[in-house]
Amino acid sequence: MKTVDTLLVVGLGLIGGSFAAAVKSAGACRQVYGYDLNKASLEEAEALGIIDCGFENLSEGVAAADVIMLAVPMLAMRPVLEQISPYLLGGRAAQKVVTDAGSSKKALLDAALETFGEIPAWLVPGHPIAGSEKSGVGAAKATLFQAHDVILTPLKHTDDLALEKVKMLWEACGAVVTSMDPYHHDEVLAKTSHLPHFLAFSLVDTLAGNPDNQDIFRFAAGGFRDFTRIAGSDPIMWHDVALGNNQAVLEALDEFTEGLQVLRKAIIQKDSQSLLGIFSRAQSARQHFSSLLESRKQRVKPLPDTAMVHSVFSGSVLVEGEDTKQEVMESMKESSQTFIASPGGSISGELRVPGDKSISHRSIMLGALAEGETVVEGFLEGEDALATLKAFRDMGVQIDGPYLGKVTIQGVGIHGLKQPEGPLYLGNAGTAMRLMAGLMAAQSFDVTLTGDHSLSGRPMNRVVDPLGQMGATIETSEGGRPPLKIKGGAQLKGIEYHLPMASAQVQSCLLLAGMYADGETVTVAPGIVRDHTNRMLNGFGYPVSVSGENGCRVAIKGGGKLTATRIDVPSDVSSAAFFMVAASIAEGSEVRLSHVGMNPTRSGVVEILQLMGADITLENESVVGGEPVADLVVRSAQLKGIDIPERLVPIAIDEFPVLFVAAACAEGRTLLTGARELRVKESDRIQAMADGLIALGIDAQPLPDGMMINGSGNTPSERKGEPVFNGGTIDSHGDHRIAMSFAVAALRAKDDIRILNCANVATSFPDFAGLANRAGMRIVVTEGLEDGSC
């Protein structure tokens, strides 16, 4: 690719000055020139070293440059293009490229069409999503665009070389370059950037005219300050945006006004349900997009010193200074959480851990496809389950909540889903992606399933291959990994599929696809598989046939329907497992874990701990919504090492990280085999746990399909409860179960255990640290950079 020799930046304000400074700092071209109507700005840019040379005559600057960046107000684009057009016509334009930094692409293209009679191939429209409320060349920073989006909006006939030159310059600035249709760009920015700014301007202007404005502004709380901060932006710039992108802005205003009228009506009518629906849907969406943004930050880490970040929700740019640094760090915290777990303590009290994640996922999926209203109580408000909820909202399903664990779903019927406007983002939810692959394979429309960095590295061929045998067309990335691009309109046929491993996700995926398939779909598992899907399908009135030893053969016929029902989600036994182990290993502990799901295909962790000598009793056993539940009373006990029976491995697969901690505290050797599945979870849980245990002084030997641990438990009564683990720093690899397991280990540690990358704990166990501390553990959550520094 031909490099850029000379660059002219027209308009040396914040954006133009920062672009010039960044290109010059990166050495991306030989000479950086500048032009500005304000001679003082030109002189300041030269004095600050932002440009190499300034031109007082625009025509001379254009003649000398290979690339011209127009960083002027939107309404100034046409006059500038007219002024420089003689140097951009005919042979003179052969080696020149023009780009811009405006926030409305239609305005630029209209100006170019009026000036040149066509959109020239050498014009590359662009828009950096970065800035500051400070203005002028004095506020310019070479780091302004680092790790920020820049959207280029080329047309079909845009010259490839011109596009590559502009892209190269932005990448030299440290920006993340994305391409987008120019008109779609204007629609998106109207909603995410322009509309929030205009609402903030309007609100402040309206309140400023109120007779009580002194008290209004005097007692304004943080919410008012946060929302209206962007009203401090440059009025001239936003005046030009309002006129330059007026059509898209008006459409966004109309759409917002309709929503505002719905809210107004609900308040007038005192419609409590509608109000809770609006607020809870907004809260859920906000949390979902926060997760999406944090996932992106894990792949592109902004430098804190740039002190600016683009908001997915408002499109606004945060202000430089101390307030901005605080907001940047706040926005980064999800991807940089660290647990510091202090040694000692005991566990006591009555605890209710969050709802079962597996059941929460399935309740949304089947409730959405049912006919009628499904009410879910005890829904897990973790990021994984919320990602599933958001995906079905994106496919046209009205879902109110969650509010205090309650979700109300207006089912659309088995054929009622609508094509989403874009890919369905599922965060870190592997269960959601694998189950939804089965559902989406049977829809009439194309859909793409995506996830965060962790999920994007997990294998999906285990569901893609059998779905292909049923007639589905699914494209994956290299190695069978997400995203999954699923072609709509497939005519699925029933098959008999023998699972290579006992996987509930694979079995459930095929059963959900089987609802749409011709004939009967049969799955045969080599061992016990958790049966939440079978139970819930029956609860929704869709018959499932279960036969064979341990229910290994499950069959479903296509063509049925789902009828709405009520679902009571029990507490998640996987989440309860952390407190079972904690109470077992911490001397003097006694805890009651209430309403825990005791599905026999999930309760392997209880049996394994009891085989190790744990003191666990079940009380208040009952069946709720087809799922067995019980209160678990756990008291401290001296554990002993065992060979874990392979029959229990599939029904305790998620609990092995914390079981490894129990094994380290036990007397004698614990051996696990037959658990190769642990290598392809959110992380390689065998290797990650072995590395962490070894770092803490435990004799742990990873095996291809398990682990051998020589426990350091104490048997003499006078030594009971002594420390087992050394202190140290552990990398959880972003795996929620590893993070929580090593937090439990601190109960028997000599010194603090510092656990890095704990943000994903929120995917399955919101407020784990808070509940653990209330129970008697000692966990401090800190926020720092992604390498764990604070």
Main-chain phi, psi angles of 536, to 5 degrees: -75, -35
The answer to whether 233 and 133 are in contact (CB under 8 A) is yes
Nearest CA to 532 among 552, 504, 513? 504
Residue with tokens 């303590």, as numbered in its chain: 345
Helix, strand, or coil (residue 98): strand
- Taking the C-alpha atoms of residue 634 and residue 303, their distance in angstroms, rounded to an integer, is 47
Beta-strand ranges (E) seen in 673-767 are 699-703, 706-712, 728-731, 753-756
Beta-strand ranges (E) seen in 217-313 are none
- Taking the C-alpha atoms of residue 363 and residue 535, their distance in angstroms, rounded to an integer, is 11
The answer to whether 670 and 641 are in contact (CB under 8 A) is yes
Main-chain phi, psi angles of 314, to 5 degrees: -105, -15
- Taking the C-alpha atoms of residue 719 and residue 43, their distance in angstroms, rounded to an integer, is 77
Report the DSSP pairing between strands 753-756 and 337-341.
antiparallel
The answer to whether 588 and 636 are in contact (CB under 8 A) is yes
Main-chain phi, psi angles of 585, to 5 degrees: -95, -15
Q: Rg of the Cα trace of the chain?
A: 30
Kindly compute the dihedral angle of the four CA atoms of residues 690, 693, 699, 705, in this order, to the nearest 10 degrees.
-20
- Taking the C-alpha atoms of residue 158 and residue 221, their distance in angstroms, rounded to an integer, is 49
DSSP one-letter code for 714: -
What six digits make up the tokens of 132?
A: 């500051």
- Taking the C-alpha atoms of residue 739 and residue 733, their distance in angstroms, rounded to an integer, is 8
The CA-atom distances, in angstroms, between 469 and each of 437, 464, 502 are 14, 9, 19
Q: Could you count the other beta carbons within 10 Å of the beta carbon of residue 372? A: 13
The answer to whether 59 and 36 are in contact (CB under 8 A) is no
Burial 118-128 (b: 16+ CB within 10 A, else e): ebbbbbbbbbb
Nearest CA to 25 among 239, 173, 183? 173
Nearest CA to 256 among 187, 191, 186? 191
What six digits make up the tokens of 185?
A: 């760009």
Active-site residue flag, 234: no
What value, to the nearest 5°, has the Cα angle with vertex 567 and ends 366 and 616?
Answer: 120
Helices (H), 617-683: 656-664
What six digits make up the tokens of 759?
A: 């943000």
The answer to whether 361 and 388 are in contact (CB under 8 A) is yes
- Taking the C-alpha atoms of residue 150 and residue 170, their distance in angstroms, rounded to an integer, is 7
| Stated length of the chain | 790
- Taking the C-alpha atoms of residue 228 and residue 750, their distance in angstroms, rounded to an integer, is 50
What six digits make up the tokens of 386?
A: 């919320």
The answer to whether 450 and 423 are in contact (CB under 8 A) is yes
Contacts (Cβ under 8 Å, ≥6 apart) of 436: 365, 388, 391, 424, 426, 449
Helices (H), 586-635: 604-611
The answer to whether 449 and 388 are in contact (CB under 8 A) is no
- Taking the C-alpha atoms of residue 537 and residue 438, their distance in angstroms, rounded to an integer, is 15
DSSP one-letter code for 229: G
Burial 318-347 (b: 16+ CB within 10 A, else e): bbbeeebbebbeebbebbbbbbbbbbbbbb
Which among 394, 654, 731, 735 is annotated as catalytic?
654
State the catalytic residues.
Answer: 654
